[in-house]
Amino acid sequence: MKSIQEHITELDKEGLTFLENEYSKDECNYYIDKFSQIVEKLKSNGSNLCRDCTMIRNPYRHDIDLANLIYNANVDSILLELIDKDYVLVNSTVINRKIDHSIKKSANNMGDAWHTDSHYTMNQTRRLQKGFGYIVIILFNDFTKENGGTLYLLNSHLKKDKPEKFGEYNNLKDYPLKTIVGKAGTVAIMDSGIWHRGGDPSQEDRWSLYSYYGPWYQKPYYRFPEMLGEKFGKETNKHLRRLFHYNSTPPLADVNNESTSTVKYD
């Protein structure tokens, strides 16, 4: 088992690190069953789904038990060092890159093009420094080259330009392209600046949860406290209160000098 510092060193040098056996086979199957039930409900409700890449955005919105996947103690010990003690969730999506023939009219796919999950300045031409944010990927099935394991460009978190300049990058044999492979129950942590794209869809399940974490002042994709409600914020544990922005939502107005101390502590 690697130490926290070994994981941090790998992320700094290569942009990716793996934590094996974070979830048991039974736990993986438990969550896969929940994901499958949500997808069936979305189908029955007529929701737009992608035939080649099933996605559940904000899965805890459908089943609050899935909020527990947002906090992992071993991942937390690494991100506390890499980001800061007040780091938060920015976005999370369940993804299965299995072709679903029951979906007749397909919605847009996710992650087909080379991209990063970082941010850019200077009119979208300069990327923020490496280490600003991290993507945590929970593997509920084995990730292989055959079932759509995520492709990435080794050391690309050190680059400053944008991936689309490379065009058909995955067809160029001279570049250090790799595939995220690992056993079910593995957790991968990836610098948000890594150039990556989803692998080709297959006939096999490849359930996963992609969660993006950053510093407390980074704008989330959704207003989590409003989504999950005040009751959840009061009853959940301190880790999830922090991660879902209950401690770092800016005040409405400058009352009692609140605007100068946005982060609230338990």
Tokens matching residue 223: 């207003």
- φ, ψ of residue 138 to 5 degrees: the values are -95, 125
Does residue 170 surpass a pLDDT of 50? no
In a 13 Å sphere around the CA of 132, the CA atoms on its Cβ side amount to: 18
Flag the least confident range among 7-21, 25-39, 114-128, 177-191: 114-128
Write out 28-60 in H/E/C secondary structure: HHHHHHHHHHHHHHHHHCCCCCCCCCEEEECHH
Contact 104, 244 (CB under 8 A): no
Write the pLDDT tens digit of every residue in 107-141: 666 677 777 877 766 565 666 677 689 999 999 99
For residue 63, which of 238, 240, 228, 233 has the smallest C-alpha distance?
228
pLDDT tier, 153 (very low <50, low <70, confident <90, very high otherwise):
confident
Rounded to whole angstroms, the Cα distance separating 241 from 239 reads 5
Residue in this structure with the two tokens 């299965």, named with its chain if needed = 96
Instruction: Concatenate the DSSP letters of all residues of the chain into one string.
Output: ---HHHHHHHHHHHSEEEE-SSS-HHHHHHHHHHHHHHHHHHHHTT----SSSEEEESGGGT-GGGGGGG--HHHHHHHHHHT-TT-EEEEEEEEE-B--TT--S----SS-S-B-SS-EETTTTEEPPTTS-EEEEEESS-B-TTTTPPEEETTGGG--S-GGGGSSGGG-TTS-EEE--B-TT-EEEEETTS-EEPPPPBSS--EEEEEEEE-TTSPPSS-HHHHHHHHHHHHS-HHHHHHTTTTTPPPSS--TTGGG------
* CA distance between the termini of the chain: 32
Give the mean model confidence (pLDDT) for residues 78-88.
96
For residue 140, which of 182, 108, 102 has the smallest C-alpha distance?
182
Contact 15, 190 (CB under 8 A): yes
Rounded to whole angstroms, the Cα distance separating 113 from 129 reads 22
pTM for this prediction? 0.91
Write the pLDDT tens digit of every residue in 39-79: 999 999 888 888 888 999 999 999 999 999 999 999 999 99
Cβ atoms within 10 Å, residue 148: 27
